[in-house]
Structure 1
Amino acid sequence: MMMLGWVFGDWLMSKPFDQLPVKRFLVVSGFIALVSFILIRELDGYGNMFMMLEGNSIVQWLHVSKYPPSLSYALLELGLMAVILAVLMWLEPTADVSRNGPVLVFGQTALFFYLAHFGVLALLRLVFERGGLEMAYLMALLALLILYPFCRIYRTFKWQNPHSLLRFI
């Protein structure tokens, strides 16, 4: 899926600034992937690593095998990503996106954030006791606040060294 993202990013950067064909492609491919997910999940067989439907609740429908990634998982995730990306591209002209805003900072350091958040959450676990959903949201917010300046520093370092392996992290 990461290679698909890199190929799509290169393709997207080669397109002219008029992004209507890109948005149309994202919406159409996203809905095709989501309809395929629904069909495969309804058939309740191929593509979901022994995670059969045990009812018709939304939780059962969304219970798909991430490890190893099943076909139903890939179709659901890529379909949602394509539709959401098309909507965000449609909203982009009306939104004021700051260069150092959290969306760009975390988006441009996604793998670094992913790797670093494990350590931050482990440290927060030493300070805070385990709790319910409210505590999980609080820990997620604290992790974002703690990692934001580190992600900004890392992004600057990555831009200063464009030919290093850091561009992949």
Structure 2
Amino acid sequence: MNTDPSILSKRILSIDILRGIVMIIMALDHTRDFFHIGAMTGDPLNPETTSGILFFTRWITHFCAPTFVFLSGLSAYLSAQNKTPAQASAFLFKRGLWLIFIEIAIISLGLTFNLQYNFIILQVIWAIGWSMIFLALASRISYQTVLISGVIMVFGHNIFNLFPAPQDPTGGLILKVFFTASGTVVPLSANHLVGVFYAILPWTGVMFVGYGIGTWFKKSYEVKRRQRNLLIAGSVTIFLFIALRLINVYGDPVPRKEYQDLFKNLLAFFNVSKYPPSLQYISMTVGTAMLILAFTERINNWFTKIASVYGSVPFFYYVIHFYLLHTILVVVFFATGHNTKEIIQVPFLFRPAAFGFSLPIVYLIWICVVALLYLPCRWFKKYKETHRQWWLSYV
């Protein structure tokens, strides 16, 4: 067994590297939402209307949410090694409730800048919060319960696509929220809506699987064996994606469409469902994540050092990047001649449907935003390393 401290440091660093990479890429999608001219009026993944670069800009960000949720499960397993089962379960339960609150109160505000909360947006942090609550319960039963339940949820949740939705409104809403949410909007009153964009249980399955492979990252686990496991698991998972995509029968709510154009067929092949995350989508993204974890095990260069800074404080980065993007949006909104009558928009204030710029400008804004966040993230990383306040474990 190789337990050299430097190797262990790099092993943990590989998690931060991957998480940092997906956090950087994630900001590109949100920058596109705020600043691209067609973000509010077109589908960047539609092979019939998109361009190659626009498709790639949206598609590459598909890897962010599942990787983040997967690594959250892995991190939960590693964190539990320093706690009793009861302590680990209680922490996950409380952190899950905290994340749900943060999604509603803080992140929705950063997205919309609507102090009246007329439109509450429930996305990945909402799904992670609920997943942690379910993980808190399942982990008290056994590790095997978590792993088996995760595999069943990931492989089996697309079965619900094969049957008609319940006619009962309450039953239909429960099914959407837990399994099939795809832009489900729930009216709370005449002026207040909730948008449920992340179905809970498919993402819970991803977190449970991440928790399940946590045992490969224990200090006593041989490095080469872990790398081999990740390479095999990642390769098999990607092969499953390719096979399911070619068979075109199960694993995605919308069958792959075929065109009389090679390029459109290529785009259609990779255009899998994120809302909800289909088996094909999860296989494509999580399989890749496992391969990257294997390949970054011992890499240490300038890029990995930068990426690991973002990856070591992902929650801090995630929250403040929305506020930074939206603040820049407000400045640009007025700088481009828009007036106060155009502020009220749904779902984002200061974001008219016809507003925006070309992709090169979007990429420039994205690079600037990521760069601006580096020093705050590095400061908070050092703060967490040198302080032990209880609340730091929640951010």
Q: Please give the range of the TM-score, normalised by the shorter of the 2 chains.
A: 0.7 to 0.9
Instruction: Give, as a single letter, the amino acid of the residue that structure 1 aligns with 2:238.
Output: L
Instruction: Give, as a single letter, the amino acid of the residue that structure 1 aligns with 2:297.
Output: M
Give, in whole Å, the separation in 2 of the partners of 1:162 and 1:68: 38
- The match for 1:82 among 290, 294, 297 is 290
Matched, 1:142 2:345: no
**1:66 aligned residue:** 274
Cα distance, 1:31 vs structure 2: 0.5
**1:12 aligned residue:** 217
**1:35 aligned residue:** 239
Cα distance, 1:79 vs structure 2: 0.5
> Under a length normalisation based on structure 1, what TM-score does the superposition of the two structures give?
0.81
**1:102 aligned residue:** 306
Secondary structure of the structure 1 residue equivalent to 2:297: helix
Give, in whole Å, the separation in 2 of the partners of 1:76 and 1:98: 24
Q: Which runs of 5+ in 2 are unaligned?
A: 1-68, 76-210, 337-355
Structure number with greater Rg is 2
**1:53 aligned residue:** 256
Instruction: Give, as a single letter, the amino acid of the residue that structure 2 aligns with 1:136.
Output: V
Distance 1:168 1:63, change over 3 A: farther
> Under a length normalisation based on structure 2, what TM-score does the superposition of the two structures give?
0.38
- The match for 2:359 among 127, 133, 142 is 133
**Percent identity over paired residues:** 25
Give, in whole Å, the separation in 1 of the partners of 2:362 and 2:314: 20
Matched, 1:111 2:327: no
**RMSD of the TM alignment (CA)?**
2.5
Give, in whole Å, the separation in 2 of the partners of 1:133 and 1:45: 35
1:110-134 C-alpha deviation (Å, 9 max, x unpaired): 2221222111111222334631111
Cα distance, 1:160 vs structure 2: 3.6
Instruction: Give, as a single letter, the amino acid of the residue that structure 2 aligns with 1:42.
Output: L
Instruction: Give, as a single letter, the amino acid of the residue that structure 2 aligns with 1:62.
Output: F
Give, in whole Å, the separation in 2 of the partners of 1:28 and 1:9: 16
May I ask how many residue pairs the two structures share in their alignment?
A: 163
Instruction: Give, as a single letter, the amino acid of the residue that structure 2 aligns with 1:5.
Output: L
Give, in whole Å, the separation in 2 of the partners of 1:165 and 1:10: 27
Distance 1:162 1:11, change over 3 A: farther
Cα distance, 1:37 vs structure 2: 0.8
Give, in whole Å, the separation in 1 of the partners of 2:216 and 2:313: 21
**1:158 aligned residue:** 384
After TM superposition, the structure 1 stretch with the greater mean CA deviation from structure 2, 139-148 or 56-65, is: 56-65
Distance 1:140 1:156, change over 3 A: same
Give, in whole Å, the separation in 2 of the partners of 1:28 and 1:145: 35
Cα distance, 1:168 vs structure 2: 4.6
Distance 1:163 1:77, change over 3 A: farther
Instruction: Give, as a single letter, the amino acid of the residue that structure 1 aligns with 2:219.
Output: S
Task: Tell me if structure 2 keeps the 8 A contact 1:124–1:139.
Answer: no
1:41-83 C-alpha deviation (Å, 9 max, x unpaired): 222232222x221127232122122122211111111101111
Cα distance, 1:5 vs structure 2: 2.5
Structure number with higher relative contact order (C-alpha < 8 Å, ≥ 6 residues apart)? 2
1:76-104 C-alpha deviation (Å, 9 max, x unpaired): 111011112222225x1xx33699x3222
Task: Tell me if structure 1 keeps the 8 A contact 2:248–2:255.
Answer: yes
Distance 1:59 1:80, change over 3 A: same
Task: Tell me if structure 1 keeps the 8 A contact 2:216–2:226.
Answer: no
Instruction: Give, as a single letter, the amino acid of the residue that structure 2 aligns with 1:33.
Output: T
Distance 1:147 1:19, change over 3 A: same
**2:79 aligned residue:** none
